[in-house]
Amino acid sequence: MEENLHEDNQHLPSWLEDIKIRTWEVELLISGFFLVALLQFSDYSEIIRYYVVSRYLDFIGATALALLIEFGAKGLLIGFLTHLILRGIWAGMIGLYAVYPQGMNQIYEQYTQQFKEHIKHNLSILDSIKRLEKLCRLLFSISFLYFLTILSFTIYALVALISISFVINIPYIGNIYAIIISSIGFLYLVDFLSLGDIKKIKWFSKVYYPIYLFMNYLTLSFLYKNIYYTLIGNIKKWKLLLIFISLMTISSFLFIFNRLGAGIGEGRKYLTYANFQEHEMDWRHYEDRFVDNGNASDKFIYRVSIPSYTVESDFLQIFIVHTIGFEDNMQEICKEQEKSIKKTTYERRKEYSHQNLDCLSQFYQVSVNDTLKNNLHWRYYENPKTKERGIITHINIKNLENKEHILKVKLAVQFKSASPYLAYIPFWKQEKS
Protein backbone atom coordinates (compact mmCIF):
# COMPACT_ATOMS: atom_id res chain seq x y z
CA MET A 1 0.00 0.00 0.00
CA GLU A 2 2.77 2.41 1.00
CA GLU A 3 4.69 1.51 -2.16
CA ASN A 4 1.65 2.35 -4.30
CA LEU A 5 1.25 5.69 -2.58
CA HIS A 6 4.92 6.44 -3.08
CA GLU A 7 4.68 5.42 -6.72
CA ASP A 8 1.61 7.64 -7.28
CA ASN A 9 3.50 10.55 -5.75
CA GLN A 10 6.41 9.98 -8.13
CA HIS A 11 4.13 10.19 -11.17
CA LEU A 12 2.26 13.43 -10.51
CA PRO A 13 0.91 15.19 -13.60
CA SER A 14 3.19 18.00 -14.72
CA TRP A 15 0.53 20.67 -14.05
CA LEU A 16 0.03 19.41 -10.49
CA GLU A 17 3.78 19.27 -9.89
CA ASP A 18 4.04 22.88 -11.07
CA ILE A 19 1.25 23.99 -8.71
CA LYS A 20 2.90 22.10 -5.86
CA ILE A 21 6.13 24.02 -6.40
CA ARG A 22 4.46 27.40 -6.89
CA THR A 23 1.70 26.96 -4.32
CA TRP A 24 2.77 30.16 -2.56
CA GLU A 25 1.33 32.18 -5.46
CA VAL A 26 -2.08 30.55 -5.06
CA GLU A 27 -1.90 30.98 -1.28
CA LEU A 28 -1.16 34.70 -1.52
CA LEU A 29 -3.92 35.23 -4.09
CA ILE A 30 -6.52 33.43 -1.97
CA SER A 31 -5.33 35.00 1.30
CA GLY A 32 -5.47 38.50 -0.17
CA PHE A 33 -8.94 37.97 -1.61
CA PHE A 34 -10.35 36.53 1.61
CA LEU A 35 -8.75 39.20 3.78
CA VAL A 36 -10.54 41.92 1.81
CA ALA A 37 -13.83 39.98 1.97
CA LEU A 38 -13.50 39.10 5.67
CA LEU A 39 -12.82 42.69 6.69
CA GLN A 40 -16.28 43.50 5.33
CA PHE A 41 -17.90 40.30 6.59
CA SER A 42 -18.89 41.52 10.05
CA ASP A 43 -21.06 44.34 8.67
CA TYR A 44 -22.79 42.25 6.04
CA SER A 45 -23.29 39.30 8.39
CA GLU A 46 -25.17 41.72 10.65
CA ILE A 47 -27.42 42.69 7.70
CA ILE A 48 -28.16 39.04 6.90
CA ARG A 49 -28.72 38.17 10.56
CA TYR A 50 -31.10 41.07 11.10
CA TYR A 51 -32.99 40.40 7.86
CA VAL A 52 -33.46 36.70 8.67
CA VAL A 53 -34.31 37.15 12.36
CA SER A 54 -36.70 40.06 11.79
CA ARG A 55 -38.67 38.43 8.97
CA TYR A 56 -38.34 34.65 9.09
CA LEU A 57 -36.87 33.00 12.17
CA ASP A 58 -38.25 33.67 15.62
CA PHE A 59 -36.04 31.44 17.77
CA ILE A 60 -33.15 32.88 19.76
CA GLY A 61 -30.75 30.35 18.24
CA ALA A 62 -30.88 32.16 14.89
CA THR A 63 -28.91 35.07 16.32
CA ALA A 64 -26.50 32.70 18.07
CA LEU A 65 -25.84 30.82 14.81
CA ALA A 66 -25.16 34.04 12.91
CA LEU A 67 -22.71 35.10 15.62
CA LEU A 68 -21.06 31.66 15.48
CA ILE A 69 -20.36 32.06 11.76
CA GLU A 70 -18.92 35.50 12.44
CA PHE A 71 -16.75 33.93 15.15
CA GLY A 72 -15.43 31.41 12.61
CA ALA A 73 -14.75 34.19 10.12
CA LYS A 74 -12.62 35.97 12.74
CA GLY A 75 -10.47 32.84 13.06
CA LEU A 76 -10.04 32.64 9.30
CA LEU A 77 -9.11 36.33 9.23
CA ILE A 78 -6.44 35.81 11.92
CA GLY A 79 -5.04 32.73 10.15
CA PHE A 80 -4.80 34.41 6.75
CA LEU A 81 -3.39 37.64 8.18
CA THR A 82 -0.69 35.67 10.03
CA HIS A 83 -0.06 33.67 6.87
CA LEU A 84 0.38 36.85 4.84
CA ILE A 85 2.85 38.28 7.37
CA LEU A 86 4.88 35.06 7.44
CA ARG A 87 4.91 34.92 3.64
CA GLY A 88 6.25 38.48 3.66
CA ILE A 89 9.10 37.43 5.95
CA TRP A 90 9.65 34.36 3.77
CA ALA A 91 9.88 36.48 0.62
CA GLY A 92 12.29 38.87 2.32
CA MET A 93 14.57 36.01 3.36
CA ILE A 94 14.55 34.59 -0.18
CA GLY A 95 15.58 37.99 -1.53
CA LEU A 96 18.32 38.23 1.09
CA TYR A 97 19.55 34.72 0.27
CA ALA A 98 19.71 35.63 -3.43
CA VAL A 99 21.92 38.65 -2.68
CA TYR A 100 24.06 37.01 0.04
CA PRO A 101 24.04 33.23 -0.59
CA GLN A 102 27.00 32.80 1.77
CA GLY A 103 24.88 34.09 4.63
CA MET A 104 26.12 36.28 7.46
CA ASN A 105 29.82 37.04 7.73
CA GLN A 106 31.42 35.76 10.90
CA ILE A 107 30.87 38.96 12.81
CA TYR A 108 29.34 36.88 15.59
CA GLU A 109 32.87 35.61 16.41
CA GLN A 110 33.34 38.86 18.31
CA TYR A 111 30.43 38.04 20.65
CA THR A 112 30.62 36.17 23.94
CA GLN A 113 30.39 32.39 23.83
CA GLN A 114 26.73 32.29 24.93
CA PHE A 115 25.55 34.59 22.14
CA LYS A 116 27.95 33.02 19.63
CA GLU A 117 26.51 29.54 20.10
CA HIS A 118 22.92 30.83 19.94
CA ILE A 119 23.46 32.78 16.71
CA LYS A 120 25.45 30.00 15.00
CA HIS A 121 22.67 27.53 15.83
CA ASN A 122 20.01 29.74 14.16
CA LEU A 123 22.12 31.23 11.40
CA SER A 124 21.21 29.26 8.28
CA ILE A 125 18.95 31.41 6.04
CA LEU A 126 18.17 28.42 3.85
CA ASP A 127 16.94 26.37 6.81
CA SER A 128 14.82 29.30 7.98
CA ILE A 129 13.28 29.62 4.51
CA LYS A 130 12.40 25.92 4.50
CA ARG A 131 10.84 26.09 7.97
CA LEU A 132 8.80 29.18 7.04
CA GLU A 133 7.65 27.51 3.82
CA LYS A 134 6.35 24.51 5.75
CA LEU A 135 4.74 26.70 8.43
CA CYS A 136 2.96 28.89 5.87
CA ARG A 137 1.50 25.91 4.02
CA LEU A 138 0.30 24.32 7.25
CA LEU A 139 -1.19 27.58 8.55
CA PHE A 140 -3.06 28.09 5.29
CA SER A 141 -4.66 24.64 5.52
CA ILE A 142 -5.40 24.85 9.24
CA SER A 143 -7.10 28.25 8.83
CA PHE A 144 -9.47 26.82 6.25
CA LEU A 145 -10.08 23.75 8.42
CA TYR A 146 -10.93 25.97 11.40
CA PHE A 147 -13.50 28.02 9.49
CA LEU A 148 -15.07 25.03 7.74
CA THR A 149 -15.36 23.25 11.10
CA ILE A 150 -17.28 26.18 12.60
CA LEU A 151 -19.44 26.33 9.47
CA SER A 152 -20.18 22.59 9.65
CA PHE A 153 -21.43 22.67 13.22
CA THR A 154 -23.41 25.82 12.45
CA ILE A 155 -25.18 23.96 9.64
CA TYR A 156 -25.90 21.05 11.97
CA ALA A 157 -27.22 23.35 14.72
CA LEU A 158 -29.44 25.18 12.23
CA VAL A 159 -30.95 21.94 10.90
CA ALA A 160 -31.38 20.61 14.44
CA LEU A 161 -33.08 23.76 15.76
CA ILE A 162 -35.46 24.03 12.80
CA SER A 163 -36.42 20.34 12.90
CA ILE A 164 -36.87 20.39 16.69
CA SER A 165 -39.11 23.47 16.44
CA PHE A 166 -41.54 21.45 14.27
CA VAL A 167 -41.93 18.53 16.70
CA ILE A 168 -41.17 19.98 20.13
CA ASN A 169 -44.86 20.51 20.94
CA ILE A 170 -45.76 16.88 20.17
CA PRO A 171 -46.05 15.01 23.51
CA TYR A 172 -43.13 12.64 24.21
CA ILE A 173 -42.02 12.51 20.57
CA GLY A 174 -40.73 16.08 20.61
CA ASN A 175 -38.56 15.55 23.70
CA ILE A 176 -37.26 12.18 22.52
CA TYR A 177 -36.33 13.60 19.11
CA ALA A 178 -34.55 16.57 20.72
CA ILE A 179 -32.50 14.21 22.95
CA ILE A 180 -31.57 11.95 20.00
CA ILE A 181 -30.52 14.76 17.65
CA SER A 182 -28.55 16.48 20.43
CA SER A 183 -26.78 13.24 21.39
CA ILE A 184 -25.79 12.58 17.78
CA GLY A 185 -24.28 16.05 17.48
CA PHE A 186 -22.48 15.72 20.83
CA LEU A 187 -20.93 12.37 19.85
CA TYR A 188 -19.69 13.73 16.54
CA LEU A 189 -18.28 16.83 18.23
CA VAL A 190 -16.39 14.75 20.83
CA ASP A 191 -14.99 12.51 18.09
CA PHE A 192 -13.87 15.51 16.07
CA LEU A 193 -12.23 17.37 18.97
CA SER A 194 -10.56 14.18 20.28
CA LEU A 195 -9.11 13.71 16.77
CA GLY A 196 -10.89 10.41 16.16
CA ASP A 197 -10.75 8.68 19.56
CA ILE A 198 -14.34 7.39 19.30
CA LYS A 199 -13.46 5.64 16.02
CA LYS A 200 -10.88 3.58 17.97
CA ILE A 201 -13.52 1.97 20.24
CA LYS A 202 -14.17 -1.39 18.55
CA TRP A 203 -17.41 -2.37 20.32
CA PHE A 204 -18.93 1.07 19.62
CA SER A 205 -17.82 1.42 16.00
CA LYS A 206 -20.83 -0.41 14.54
CA VAL A 207 -23.17 2.00 16.32
CA TYR A 208 -21.13 5.10 15.57
CA TYR A 209 -20.40 4.35 11.89
CA PRO A 210 -23.89 5.22 10.53
CA ILE A 211 -23.94 8.31 12.77
CA TYR A 212 -20.56 9.32 11.34
CA LEU A 213 -21.76 8.87 7.75
CA PHE A 214 -24.95 10.85 8.43
CA MET A 215 -23.09 13.74 10.07
CA ASN A 216 -20.34 13.63 7.46
CA TYR A 217 -22.81 14.57 4.73
CA LEU A 218 -25.15 16.72 6.80
CA THR A 219 -22.32 19.00 7.94
CA LEU A 220 -20.49 18.87 4.57
CA SER A 221 -17.43 17.51 6.40
CA PHE A 222 -16.60 15.34 3.39
CA LEU A 223 -15.41 18.50 1.64
CA TYR A 224 -12.46 18.91 3.99
CA LYS A 225 -11.97 15.46 5.54
CA ASN A 226 -8.72 14.98 3.56
CA ILE A 227 -7.26 18.09 5.23
CA TYR A 228 -8.44 16.90 8.65
CA TYR A 229 -7.05 13.34 8.42
CA THR A 230 -3.78 14.47 6.82
CA LEU A 231 -3.17 16.93 9.64
CA ILE A 232 -4.07 14.60 12.52
CA GLY A 233 -1.96 11.87 10.91
CA ASN A 234 1.17 13.99 10.64
CA ILE A 235 1.01 16.53 13.48
CA LYS A 236 1.10 15.67 17.16
CA LYS A 237 -2.29 15.97 18.79
CA TRP A 238 -1.21 18.54 21.39
CA LYS A 239 0.30 20.79 18.72
CA LEU A 240 -2.84 20.71 16.58
CA LEU A 241 -5.08 21.38 19.58
CA LEU A 242 -2.78 24.21 20.66
CA ILE A 243 -3.15 25.87 17.25
CA PHE A 244 -6.95 25.50 17.33
CA ILE A 245 -7.18 26.81 20.90
CA SER A 246 -4.94 29.76 19.98
CA LEU A 247 -7.17 30.61 17.01
CA MET A 248 -10.28 30.34 19.19
CA THR A 249 -8.76 32.53 21.92
CA ILE A 250 -7.71 35.30 19.55
CA SER A 251 -11.02 35.00 17.67
CA SER A 252 -12.88 35.40 20.97
CA PHE A 253 -10.93 38.54 21.79
CA LEU A 254 -11.56 40.10 18.38
CA PHE A 255 -15.21 39.05 18.47
CA ILE A 256 -15.77 40.62 21.91
CA PHE A 257 -13.82 43.73 20.95
CA ASN A 258 -15.87 44.10 17.77
CA ARG A 259 -19.13 43.83 19.73
CA LEU A 260 -18.14 45.76 22.87
CA GLY A 261 -14.99 47.53 21.73
CA ALA A 262 -16.32 51.04 22.34
CA GLY A 263 -16.40 50.41 26.08
CA ILE A 264 -13.29 48.25 26.54
CA GLY A 265 -10.62 50.12 28.42
CA GLU A 266 -12.87 53.13 28.90
CA GLY A 267 -11.45 55.21 31.74
CA ARG A 268 -14.21 57.83 31.98
CA LYS A 269 -16.44 56.47 34.72
CA TYR A 270 -18.89 59.38 34.40
CA LEU A 271 -19.28 58.96 30.63
CA THR A 272 -19.63 55.30 29.77
CA TYR A 273 -21.06 53.35 26.87
CA ALA A 274 -23.34 51.33 29.14
CA ASN A 275 -25.87 54.15 29.34
CA PHE A 276 -29.48 53.59 30.30
CA GLN A 277 -32.00 54.01 27.54
CA GLU A 278 -33.66 56.91 29.35
CA HIS A 279 -30.44 58.91 29.50
CA GLU A 280 -29.20 58.83 25.93
CA MET A 281 -30.08 59.86 22.39
CA ASP A 282 -29.79 57.12 19.78
CA TRP A 283 -29.24 58.63 16.34
CA ARG A 284 -31.13 55.71 14.76
CA HIS A 285 -34.35 57.16 16.17
CA TYR A 286 -34.03 60.23 13.91
CA GLU A 287 -34.34 59.63 10.19
CA ASP A 288 -32.68 62.91 9.21
CA ARG A 289 -29.48 61.73 10.93
CA PHE A 290 -28.99 58.63 8.82
CA VAL A 291 -25.65 59.00 7.07
CA ASP A 292 -23.98 56.53 4.73
CA ASN A 293 -20.77 56.03 6.69
CA GLY A 294 -19.86 52.79 4.94
CA ASN A 295 -20.85 50.69 7.96
CA ALA A 296 -23.48 48.26 6.72
CA SER A 297 -24.87 47.50 10.19
CA ASP A 298 -25.67 51.20 10.76
CA LYS A 299 -28.28 51.31 8.02
CA PHE A 300 -31.23 50.10 10.07
CA ILE A 301 -33.67 51.69 12.47
CA TYR A 302 -34.19 48.38 14.31
CA ARG A 303 -37.04 49.68 16.50
CA VAL A 304 -38.70 53.12 16.27
CA SER A 305 -38.00 56.34 14.39
CA ILE A 306 -39.32 59.90 14.06
CA PRO A 307 -38.35 62.37 11.31
CA SER A 308 -36.13 64.63 13.41
CA TYR A 309 -35.14 65.66 16.94
CA THR A 310 -36.51 69.17 16.33
CA VAL A 311 -40.19 69.13 15.38
CA GLU A 312 -41.84 72.28 14.01
CA SER A 313 -45.01 70.59 12.82
CA ASP A 314 -48.20 70.15 14.83
CA PHE A 315 -48.02 66.43 14.13
CA LEU A 316 -45.29 63.92 14.97
CA GLN A 317 -44.78 60.96 12.66
CA ILE A 318 -43.92 57.65 14.36
CA PHE A 319 -42.65 54.56 12.52
CA ILE A 320 -42.35 51.24 14.36
CA VAL A 321 -40.37 48.34 12.90
CA HIS A 322 -42.23 45.07 13.42
CA THR A 323 -40.20 41.85 13.76
CA ILE A 324 -41.33 38.24 13.85
CA GLY A 325 -39.87 37.80 17.34
CA PHE A 326 -42.78 39.80 18.80
CA GLU A 327 -45.53 37.66 17.33
CA ASP A 328 -45.61 34.95 19.99
CA ASN A 329 -46.23 37.64 22.62
CA MET A 330 -48.90 39.26 20.45
CA GLN A 331 -51.04 36.13 20.64
CA GLU A 332 -51.81 36.93 24.27
CA ILE A 333 -53.77 40.04 23.34
CA CYS A 334 -54.82 39.39 19.74
CA LYS A 335 -57.81 37.25 19.06
CA GLU A 336 -57.33 34.43 16.60
CA GLN A 337 -58.57 35.36 13.17
CA GLU A 338 -62.08 34.14 12.70
CA LYS A 339 -62.83 32.32 9.52
CA SER A 340 -64.10 34.85 7.07
CA ILE A 341 -67.53 34.42 5.55
CA LYS A 342 -66.67 36.76 2.71
CA LYS A 343 -67.07 35.21 -0.70
CA THR A 344 -64.24 36.74 -2.73
CA THR A 345 -60.49 36.45 -2.14
CA TYR A 346 -60.17 40.24 -2.20
CA GLU A 347 -62.77 40.67 0.56
CA ARG A 348 -61.16 37.98 2.72
CA ARG A 349 -57.68 39.52 2.35
CA LYS A 350 -59.07 42.94 3.18
CA GLU A 351 -60.73 41.64 6.33
CA TYR A 352 -57.61 39.80 7.51
CA SER A 353 -55.51 42.89 6.83
CA HIS A 354 -57.83 44.97 8.99
CA GLN A 355 -57.71 42.40 11.81
CA ASN A 356 -53.90 42.28 11.73
CA LEU A 357 -53.56 46.05 11.77
CA ASP A 358 -55.96 46.26 14.70
CA CYS A 359 -53.87 43.68 16.56
CA LEU A 360 -50.65 45.62 15.91
CA SER A 361 -52.23 48.85 17.15
CA GLN A 362 -53.13 47.13 20.43
CA PHE A 363 -49.67 45.62 20.86
CA TYR A 364 -47.68 48.87 20.54
CA GLN A 365 -48.53 51.55 23.11
CA VAL A 366 -47.41 55.14 22.47
CA SER A 367 -47.15 57.87 25.08
CA VAL A 368 -45.71 61.39 25.28
CA ASN A 369 -44.50 62.58 28.68
CA ASP A 370 -46.23 59.55 30.25
CA THR A 371 -49.58 60.45 28.66
CA LEU A 372 -50.90 57.46 26.74
CA LYS A 373 -52.13 58.20 23.21
CA ASN A 374 -55.27 56.30 22.34
CA ASN A 375 -57.27 55.80 19.15
CA LEU A 376 -54.29 56.30 16.85
CA HIS A 377 -54.75 55.64 13.16
CA TRP A 378 -52.10 53.17 11.99
CA ARG A 379 -51.10 52.08 8.50
CA TYR A 380 -48.69 49.49 7.13
CA TYR A 381 -45.47 51.12 5.96
CA GLU A 382 -42.06 50.24 4.46
CA ASN A 383 -39.31 52.74 5.22
CA PRO A 384 -37.83 53.90 1.89
CA LYS A 385 -34.32 54.36 3.35
CA THR A 386 -33.87 51.14 5.30
CA LYS A 387 -36.47 48.91 3.58
CA GLU A 388 -37.73 47.84 7.01
CA ARG A 389 -41.43 47.05 7.30
CA GLY A 390 -43.76 48.01 10.10
CA ILE A 391 -46.57 50.43 10.94
CA ILE A 392 -46.76 54.21 10.91
CA THR A 393 -48.97 56.82 12.56
CA HIS A 394 -49.09 60.53 13.48
CA ILE A 395 -49.90 62.08 16.83
CA ASN A 396 -51.10 65.60 17.54
CA ILE A 397 -48.51 67.66 19.46
CA LYS A 398 -50.01 71.07 18.76
CA ASN A 399 -50.61 71.81 22.44
CA LEU A 400 -47.14 70.83 23.63
CA GLU A 401 -44.86 73.55 24.99
CA ASN A 402 -41.71 74.63 23.18
CA LYS A 403 -39.25 72.42 25.03
CA GLU A 404 -37.96 68.86 25.11
CA HIS A 405 -40.49 66.08 25.42
CA ILE A 406 -40.18 62.30 25.66
CA LEU A 407 -41.83 59.85 23.28
CA LYS A 408 -42.14 56.34 24.67
CA VAL A 409 -43.17 53.20 22.82
CA LYS A 410 -44.07 50.27 25.03
CA LEU A 411 -45.17 46.72 24.32
CA ALA A 412 -48.52 45.59 25.70
CA VAL A 413 -46.89 42.27 26.66
CA GLN A 414 -43.40 42.59 28.13
CA PHE A 415 -40.44 40.29 27.59
CA LYS A 416 -38.81 38.93 30.73
CA SER A 417 -35.68 40.80 31.93
CA ALA A 418 -36.08 43.38 29.17
CA SER A 419 -36.52 47.14 29.23
CA PRO A 420 -40.16 48.18 29.72
CA TYR A 421 -39.83 50.41 26.66
CA LEU A 422 -39.24 49.44 23.06
CA ALA A 423 -38.01 52.99 22.48
CA TYR A 424 -37.39 56.10 24.56
CA ILE A 425 -37.02 59.07 22.21
CA PRO A 426 -36.45 62.68 23.26
CA PHE A 427 -37.58 65.37 20.80
CA TRP A 428 -37.77 69.18 20.87
CA LYS A 429 -41.04 70.90 20.03
CA GLN A 430 -40.34 74.19 18.26
CA GLU A 431 -42.74 76.72 16.73
CA LYS A 432 -42.42 77.32 13.04
CA SER A 433 -40.00 80.16 12.32
Domain ranges of the chain: 12-260, 277-330+346-429
Residue 394 has pLDDT above 90, yes or no: yes
| CATH number for domain 277-330+346-429, candidates 1.25.40, 1.10.287, 2.60.40, 2.40.50 | 2.60.40
Higher pLDDT, 290 or 320: 320
Three-state SS letters, the chain: CHHHHHHHHHCCCHHHHHHHHCHHHHHHHHHHHHHHHHHHHHHHHHHHHHHHHHHCCCCCHHHHHHHHHHHHHHHHHHHHHHHHHHHHHHHHHHHHHHHCCCCCCHHHHHCCHHHHHHHHHCCCHHHHHHHHHHHHHHHHHHHHHHHHHHHHHHHHHHHHHHHHHHHCCCCCHHHHHHHHHHHHHHHHHHHHHCCCCHHHCHHHHHHHHHHHHHHHHHCCHHHCHHHHHHHHHHCCHHHHHHHHHHHHHHHHHHHHHHHHCCCCCCCCCCCCCCCCHHHCCCHHHEHHHCCCCCCHHHCCCCCEEECCCEECCCEEEEEEECCHHHHHHHCCCCCCCCCCCCCCHHHHHHHHHHHHHHHHHHHEEEEECCEEECCCCCEEEECCCCCCEEEEEEEECCCCCCCEEEEEEEECCCCCCCCCEEEEEEEEECCCC
Phi-psi region of 367 (alpha: psi -120 to 50; beta: other; left: phi over 0): beta
C-alpha 153/C-alpha 167 separation (Å) is 21
Residue 58 has pLDDT above 60, yes or no: no
For residue 319, what pLDDT band results from cuts at 50, 70 and 90? very high
Kindly report which listed range (22-36, 206-220, 257-271) carries the lowest average pLDDT score: 257-271
C-alpha 374/C-alpha 393 separation (Å) is 12
Mean pLDDT across the chain? 77
By residue count, the chain amounts to 433
Q: Tell me the percentage of the chain whose pLDDT exceeds 90.
A: 6
Distance of CA 34 to the CA centre of its chain: 16
For residue 427, what pLDDT band results from cuts at 50, 70 and 90? very high
Tens of pLDDT along 277-311?
Answer: 667 788 888 888 876 555 555 677 878 999 999 98
Using CA atoms, how far residue 23 sits from 11, 94, 130, 224, 287, in Å, is: 18, 16, 14, 18, 51
Query: Hey, how many other C-beta atoms are within 10 angstroms of the C-beta on 245?
Result: 10
- Per-residue confidence (pLDDT) for residue 317, from 0 to 100: 93
> Average pLDDT for residues 172-189, to the nearest whole number?
85
- Per-residue confidence (pLDDT) for residue 56, from 0 to 100: 58
